[in-house]
Chains A and B, each alone.
Chain A
Amino acid sequence: AQSVSQHNHHVILSEAASLELGCNYSYGGTVNLFWYVQYPGQHLQLLLKYFSGDPLVKGIKGFEAEFIKSKFSFNLRKPSVQWSDTAEYFCAVNIGSGNTGKLIFGQGTTLQVKP
């Protein structure tokens, strides 16, 4: 069955520390990959996405992610986190086709950044 695994469930960092959140998926077909973020009290927002082309994609707020096809991974990185990055982060794989998507989500990673 298709699945998405996020290795870190709860991460605590100090401001200016570097961040890397792991995401692996199990699906043999063509995938579109996403990272969503949910800030406290807010709705899910798109952070970045990969559909094709350059496997290193840049998103909002200085985040980037690298798609490594051979490792079925799509890890999220940020060189220097800020207190405002405190949120829950979700990796998702879209295995849909035709007129609709089908997002499979990871369990989420709660990031707490200490000022």
Chain B
Amino acid sequence: GIQVEQSPPDLILQEGANSTLRCNFSDSVNNLQWFHQNPWGQLINLFYIPSGTKQNGRLSATTVATERYSLLYISSSQTTDSGVYFCAVWRAGGTSYGKLTFGQGTILTVHP
């Protein structure tokens, strides 16, 4: 099946710093989502971005589908940004019908 790799695995920042999280995937995909899992365990949708660039406040994401990677940018980080960031992809066809495949996540810690 498709492989999803996220880097870095851990990231520690001071409040106000910027960061870039990367997601590489091993095959072409039809859908890519970024999620933030907060310390209470809830998975929050950040972006649905199979290709192109999107922005939402201090967060933006870019997916280059032809090169099989996506980037999540966090600017002016805040302590509330702490948690785990997941990239998940979906590929049509075969037994993967309907299945989101998740990366292992990037654990972000933002210190005040």
Asked if A and B bind, the verdict is no
